[in-house]
Structure 1
Amino acid sequence: YEHVKHYVHHTLNVFRSAHTFGFIVEIKTDEQVVLTYGDKERRKILWLSAALILCLGVLFATLVIRYLKENERQKRQLTYEKQFRIAMEATQTGLWTWDIISDHVTWDPQCFKLLGYEPDAFEISLEKIYQLTHPDEAATMYFAIKEQIIAKHAFVIERRMLNARNEWVYVQVRGKAVEMTDEGEPKLLTGVYINIDAQKKAEHLHLSAVAFDTQEAILITDANEKILKANEAFTRITGYSESEIIGETPRFFRSGKHDKAFYTAMWQELLTKGFWQGEMWNKRKNEEVFAEFLTITAIKNTEGKTTHYIANLSDITQHKVAQEQIHEMAYYDPLTHLANRRLLDETMQHLWDEGKSKPHYHALLFIDLDHFKTLNDRYGHDAGDMLLVQVAARLKDVVRKSDLAVRLGGDEFIVVLCELGNHYGMAHYLAQSVAQKILTHLCEPYALLEGNYTIGASIGCVLFTSDTHPDITAILKEADSAMYQAKTNGRNRIYFRDDAAHS
């Protein structure tokens, strides 16, 4: 080991050699060197330890921060989910999914709640959904969804669904296709149910309010006909304010122009069909009678029981007046307001048509005033017109409502006596009696501006049926001939032209 003796080693190597060689080596070194070396080694260890601790601290801090952040994220997520759930409940919105391939449908609890059911109150399926959907919308529901999805992969539809109280409520269904088949058909849908019943009812109320404020008069009663509400248009037409008629019934406005049979038929149709429509005469506050076109609708609840009646009416008085004026000009003489030849022809045709099922005798009286030309020549046509008007009034007083008084022109008049029975002798007697009554009335003095004036009349009478006389021309010819025979016999009398079978 001689080489060791003279070999100068680094201090660290000397220390290391001491551990290696199994003998004692005298190390000649300085104490300061040893101490300095030890300090260096300790500092290295301290630095390494500090670095390790720092790394561990950073790692720990990182883990703590990540934990805190994740915890915060989870809290926010829980808060969001809670808020989302609250929002879903507040807006009555429920989540659903529909696997079209397997026809499997899922509802979250809120879907049940928005219809008033307890969560999982029944097993949800397509068949159950169709049962809960209004029949008017169930048939087209799937096709409406499919059509929208093919167009834009999403859909929005509204439908009525049956809730737990057995009431139809409006539900908006929104959805989107989240999976499609290779052919572009929807495979998996998801979306929400939104209860929009309150919104729909508000819309209906708004529409009702708008409609209630229209120019058409509206009257609302309860099931017992007690008036609950009337709009401004009703007030304008009738003159009654709403406060004056609340609690009254529509009988309050009756004019007296309709009989009991009219109202019985009206109510029978209203109760049977749920509505009635037609023309009616009623009375305004100022006692004026007016014509109205009226529609009455029965409002029923879900059980089919009538709860209210709504009447819509419009004033057609001017229209009726115009109609009557047109009818008057078409069918009545403008001076005397008796029927004219056109109405005579239609009445005779009606008698012939009815004669096929009701074989009755009728009578036609042809009336001509005696010496009427003398009146016109002496006092003028105004006096003649005044007398003709009074003649017409007397004819109206004598004949029945079922009979017809006609002015042919000039001083010629016709009276048709309808349905005098199917026995010739009785019909002849009745016609003779009426003709005599007419002659008596016509011979009474007339009040003219020039004073009282008396004039006579000649009357020719013919009995006829739809079998004995084929047309009005033949009857008029016979009646005219009978009238001239009365004049030939001395005027101011009646001549009866008996039917050939009874002559």
Structure 2
Amino acid sequence: MRHNLKSITFMLLVTVLALNLFMVTLLTYTLHASYKRKIAEVRTNVANIALMMEQSITGTAREVDLVLQEIQYFLNRELAERGTVRRSEMDELIKARQGWVSHVARIRVSDATGAVRFAPNGPPSQLSYADAEIFHQLRSGAQVGLAISPLIRSPLTGEWILLFARRYDNADGSFAGVVAASVRASHFASLVSELDLGSKGIALVRDLDMRLVARHPPLDAPPGRTGSVGGSAELTALLNSGEPSGIFFSEGTADGVPRTNAFRRLSEPPVMLVAGLGEDDYLAIWRHDRNKAAGLGLLFFLVTTLGSVLMWRQIRASHRANRRSHLLLQHASDGIHILDSRGRLLDASDAFYRMLGYPAGGHACPSLAPWDVMHPGDQFRALVASCLRHKRVTTYESVFRHRDGGEFPVEVSVVPLEIDGKPQLFCAARDITTRKKVEEDLRIAARAFESQVGMMITDADLHILRCNEAFTRITGYAMEDIVGRHPNILQSGRHDEKFYRAMWQAIRTDGSWQGEIWNKRKNGEIYPQLLSIGSVRDEKGETTHYVASLSDISSRKADEEQMRTLAFYDSLTKLPNRRLFLERLDQAHAAAQRLQTFGALLVVDLDDFKTLNDTEGHAAGDLLLAKVAQRLVDCVPQNEAVARLGGDEFVILLDNLGPHEVEAARRAEQVARGAMATLGKPYRLGRSDYRGSAGIGIALFGPGNMPSAQEVLRNAHLAVSQAKNTGSNSLCFFDTRMPAQVRERSDIEAGLRIALEQDQLVLHYQPQVDRDGHIIGAEALIRWCHPQQGMISPGRFIPLAEANGLILPIGNWVLETACQQLARWAEVPALAHLTLSVNVSANQLSQPDFVERVLEVLQRTGAPAQKLKLELTESALVHEIEEIIRKMSVLKEHGVCFSLDDFGTGYSSLNYLSRLPLDQLKIDQSFVQGMLQDTNSAEIAHLIMLLAERMGLVVLAEGVETEEQRAALLERGCQQFQGYLFGRPMTVEQLEGELQA
């Protein structure tokens, strides 16, 4: 019967669900089809409305253009025939044509300077089109027809207008002026106001810069004002796609109304039209139908559900009557069992067997006796005998043994009975495992009350009843000090009434509250505390007590503060680190936008800090950084404005510098100058003094179209890099051209790698001549033949190559190519005497295998070593001079010659100079080109020649461009020359042609 009831219930449920699912599917399909038809109809309607708007606005534009063409034709004819325009005829014509379009536009005629000469009521003296963009467009383009401006302000009335203009010319075809018509934006508003758009519809006219020309209905908000820039994200995406027209749905509108819209892009005038119908309008009927369908579906569901419930109740009522008596016995909670006088089991309830782990009915244990399950059994036998003898009700606790061997506590009530003259015992056993567990929990709770956590108990009126020893240890109050008092004696005064009101509101609502709070000890000390308060309620739900547990978290707070310091502050300088600084920069950036004021970011980069670390050690460097930090803090308006980004780089954040950019820049520069002066003073580092300097880059940020906070920091870094490039102790403001320069450097750097792979590098050769002008050799000069940019000079890419390490493969390529050329010359008798100079960078010279590489190239190419001249600069000799002398000596033994380039411009030790195995000194071109005007340059050049003569070195003068310079050098004893006077850098074919000429 029970199985049949379940089956019938399941079938009823399935039938009801199937019927309702069918009804829902049918209604959903019908509503969806209706919705699709409505959307298609609306899209057609908005497209037609947008087309009507286009026809209306283009008709206005054609009407205005016809008037402009007539006046243009009249002016061109008059100027061609008479060379001038008679004012009376012109005024009459303008007045007549103004009457045609008076409801649309105002007509004016300007001269070639832009000043208005003719107007319907006389030209305004102050009106000029000289600053209008379309005026310049028409003046520079004779073939331009009608020009129409975007939305602009009228210089006379200040109202928004679209300016239509055509050019007219003098008899010789030169520009004579423009014929202009200003169409008020309000005219377009009157055109679109006549459209039937419904209560939620909208019509918009925007220019192609997304400025609002007209809107219907008007919107009393900033986005609805003429000239405001805006538009939904969907409209912006369609406009950027270049589509001339389209239909889109938008929810994020200025007035918050979702609509289906159509837009069209016009060329004359250059505007964009948007017509939209509100979703609430065109879906009103459909939503009404949807609600009726939902009601119908709900009614169907209620009817089917009610019918099935009535049927199920009828079936269940008949089934319930058959099981009532059995269920009462089956669900008895106590283990009821009846014993005879010998303690044998006569009968028992199902709960008794289940308690012992046997099946209900006891079929698996027909001979079960209580002493088989009682522990201990002897005690139970004595108890049975006592109950029968004294004939009294007895309740005792014992232990039952479960079928699986486990034991559990029970409470047994025994009532002696006499049935049919035979004594029997009626027993009711109850499993008290849960009660024992509660008693154990109470003992544990009592022990926990004396734990390391401070605890306090109050009554419902907040009178303190009890506290534990941990409470006394934390607060200093003993139990006798606080019993009967109110917990507010612990208040520190740091929290206001609102805090406590919120805390007790949470306790009353949720029953508990936990959080951090500042309390006061008995001795008056204020300390942080973790407090948890819970309410104790009786069976009626009324609060009887409050229990509070508290912990002293002073040490944890100290650890958190230390962790915050480590996380947000630099351990060396105690300044905010990069992480904290970036948060403050974001806040200052947002405040500048909100307050419409300017701020500035200064990046300070110390000069030659690496040199100090290398020479004096990192301890001196750390001491310098700490002193620099203190000086920066002392010289800026706000201490928190200084931070250390890392290494020797600091930043200064200046906010609220005023609403004017020029004033903000002046104040930022004033702070930067002060910082540079302060950092330039001597530092005491240990037992020595150190004088340093710094480069400072400044980037402003403020209202308007300003960059993000990250871009401001990047701009300041670009500025400090530019400052460092100009020399030490310099400052530089960020210039918008800097990113382009950085990109150019990046492009050159990436292109260099491709140039090496694709053989885009070439060598040019500049002749070197003797006293008689005979070519005795050449200097190999690298050039980059870029496929798009053409020939690129080494001044643009060699510094980058030295910075990124590409100078090594480039230098190897130059050496290889030059040696191949020397080997070819050696095979031609007329060219075998030529020497070839190759520049060697400091990076190449510092390579451990430099000597082996040069010798390997000479051997592989077959080039004569005595014809190869390696040119070094004085800067390459600054570091590791002993190792450089060794390398030069080894190559010298194999015949390689050496020349010291740009001599006199760097720092050279004469002691090391005398030990270098040099063959030639090259006088820098700065001395050569200035020796005729500057006696100091002439004397320096002469001294270099005398020094070379004493050391047995040949002197070559660079940059010789005139005969006068050559004569002056010859007079002072110069033997060899190089410069434009004798030839510019040229290809090898051109050089060989010079030798054969």
**TM-score, structure 1 normalization:** 0.45
Q: Greater CA radius of gyration, 1 or 2?
A: 1
**TM-score, structure 2 normalization:** 0.26
Higher relative contact order (CA 8 A, sep 6+): 1
